[in-house]
């Protein structure tokens, strides 16, 4: 068994298999420092989420004005066109028009997945019921701006290039050769039911990205910008977010006759805590077995060999090379 010991918010010792259960199921408490943000001369402190979208937009010289994000970043400051662009009753600025902080091609203005996400996932009345994608910290806005941009603009091999980098980062070198190199069709925020043999009550899981190709391989990606992976669910305090994704999508793959399932995450390049946390499943396959006792043990162990840790910086790097 491996020795990966996640630090920080996931810090637990894993001295032996006997301790795996405690490592997995002890709740993780996360606290966030509250910072008062003030608008001065239409300027705000920028965020990593905003910087990512701005960096991707700069790679696209043919991006039309109504497709590009409606802000600038200069010397670490977020420069707004005017302060009416945002609503901020609390500490987090939110764009009234979520398209102002994203890359949305004209052909996608009425994309079903984007419209449904914006209409269903909203803040409350204090934020004028605007879509959560308008937040300066939004993971969904980056997910769409990056993956949809690459799907439309990049050559067919981009997805395999990104995924293979993630396999290397996860230490899954032996499965690189079998990952298919052809193009994949992406689906955003797909809702997938839990397995029928899962004994707890559970709603559908929303998967940030589902990618499928003609060889019947399927990939799921959980995107993270600022947040850790949830360690509990509404109805089961011992069910973590990453294992839940694997449980739901691997079951979906079996029921729909997919040949192979590949689970992945997309995180910041310098997010060592989330990287170590996901890598702990690769180094200690028993973790996934303990999380999913209703699933076939050997199948889950094999599945950990296909886990990939993508980064937003990987995508930017490949975009600069091929766009």
Considering the domain architecture, whether residues 55 and 116 belong to the same structural domain is answered as: yes
Q: Are strands 94-95 and 86-87 parallel, antiparallel or unpaired?
A: antiparallel
Considering the domain architecture, whether residues 215 and 309 belong to the same structural domain is answered as: yes
- In a domain, residue 87? The reply is yes
Please report the pLDDT score of residue 42 as a whole number. 75
Instruction: Count helices and strands (H / E) in the chain.
Output: 11, 10
Please report the pLDDT score of residue 39 as a whole number. 62
Q: Which of 1-15, 19-33, 259-273 is the most confident on average?
A: 259-273
Considering the domain architecture, whether residues 163 and 275 belong to the same structural domain is answered as: yes
Considering the domain architecture, whether residues 47 and 75 belong to the same structural domain is answered as: yes
Looking at per-residue pLDDT, the higher value among 174 and 28 belongs to: 174
Helix (H, G, I), strand (E, B) or coil at 33: coil
Considering the domain architecture, whether residues 49 and 20 belong to the same structural domain is answered as: no
- In a domain, residue 38? The reply is no
Query: Is the pLDDT assigned to residue 32 strictly greater than 80?
Result: no
- In a domain, residue 77? The reply is yes
- In a domain, residue 3? The reply is no
Domain C-terminal end among 119, 136, 152? 152
Query: Is the pLDDT assigned to residue 109 strictly greater than 80?
Result: yes
Considering the domain architecture, whether residues 186 and 276 belong to the same structural domain is answered as: yes
Could you list the residue range(s) of the whole structural domain that residue 142 is in? 43-152
Q: Which two tokens stand for residue 18?
A: 């006997």
CB atoms within 10 A of CB 81: 11
Kindly state the percentage of the chain with pLDDT values over 90. Answer: 80
Domain C-terminal end among 122, 152, 182? 152
Query: Is the pLDDT assigned to residue 27 strictly greater than 50?
Result: no
The residue to which tokens 């490592």 are assigned? 23
Considering the domain architecture, whether residues 162 and 146 belong to the same structural domain is answered as: no
Please report the pLDDT score of residue 41 as a whole number. 65
**Rg of the chain over CA atoms, in angstroms?**
20
Domain C-terminal end among 130, 152, 174? 152
Considering the domain architecture, whether residues 62 and 85 belong to the same structural domain is answered as: yes
Q: What are phi and psi of 212, to 5 degrees?
A: -130, 150
Average confidence (pLDDT) over 103-111:
98
Please report the pLDDT score of residue 29 as a whole number. 40
The DSSP bridge partners found for residue 135 are 94
Q: How many domains does the chain have?
A: 2
- In a domain, residue 132? The reply is yes
Please report the pLDDT score of residue 38 as a whole number. 57
Average confidence (pLDDT) over 270-285:
97
Considering the domain architecture, whether residues 140 and 217 belong to the same structural domain is answered as: no
Please state, in angstroms and rounded to a whole number, the distance separating the CA atoms of residues 115 and 21: 41
Considering the domain architecture, whether residues 245 and 166 belong to the same structural domain is answered as: yes
- In a domain, residue 199? The reply is yes
Considering the domain architecture, whether residues 146 and 219 belong to the same structural domain is answered as: no
Alpha-carbon dihedral 158, 148, 280, 248, rounded to 10 degrees: -120
Please state, in angstroms and rounded to a whole number, the distance separating the CA atoms of residues 39 and 26: 40
- In a domain, residue 35? The reply is no
Q: How far is CA 160 from CA 10, 167, 194, in A?
A: 29, 10, 28
CB atoms within 10 A of CB 73: 17
Considering the domain architecture, whether residues 140 and 88 belong to the same structural domain is answered as: yes
Strands (E) located in 144-232 = 185-192, 205-212, 217-223
- In a domain, residue 323? The reply is no
């Amino acid at each position: 068994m491996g020795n990966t010991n996640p630090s920080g918010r996931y810090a637990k010792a894993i001295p032996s298999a006997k301790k795996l259960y405690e490592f997995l199921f002890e709740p993780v408490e996360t606290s966030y420092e509250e910072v008062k943000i003030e608008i001065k001369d239409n300027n705000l402190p920028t965020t990593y989420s905003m910087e990512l979208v701005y960096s991707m937009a700069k790679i696209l010289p043919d991006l039309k004005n109504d497709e590009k994000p409606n802000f600038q970043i200069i010397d670490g400051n977020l420069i707004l066109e005017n302060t009416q662009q945002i609503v901020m009753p609390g500490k987090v600025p939110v764009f009234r028009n979520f398209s102002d902080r994203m890359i949305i091609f004209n052909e996608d203005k009425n994309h079903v997945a984007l419209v449904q996400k914006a209409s269903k996932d909203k803040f409350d009345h204090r934020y004028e019921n605007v879509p959560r994608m308008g937040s300066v910290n939004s993971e969904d806005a980056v997910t769409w701006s990056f993956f949809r941009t690459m799907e439309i603009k990049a050559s067919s091999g981009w997805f395999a290039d990104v995924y293979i980098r993630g396999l290397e980062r996860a230490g899954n070198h032996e499965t690189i050769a079998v990952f298919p190199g052809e193009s994949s069709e992406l689906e955003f925020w797909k809702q997938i039911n839990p397995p029928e043999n899962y004994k707890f009550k559970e709603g559908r899981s929303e998967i940030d990205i589902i990618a499928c190709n003609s060889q019947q391989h399927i990939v799921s990606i959980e995107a993270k910008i600022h947040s850790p992976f949830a360690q509990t669910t509404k109805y089961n305090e011992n069910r973590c977010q990453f294992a839940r994704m694997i449980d739901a999508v691997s079951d979906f793959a079996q029921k729909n006759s997919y040949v192979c399932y590949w689970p992945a995450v997309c995180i910041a390049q310098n997010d060592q805590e989330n990287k170590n946390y996901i890598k702990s499943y690769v180094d200690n396959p028993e973790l996934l077995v303990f999380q999913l006792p209703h699933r076939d043990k050997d199948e889950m162990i094999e599945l950990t060999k296909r886990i990939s840790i993508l980064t937003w910086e990987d995508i930017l790097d490949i975009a600069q090379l091929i766009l």
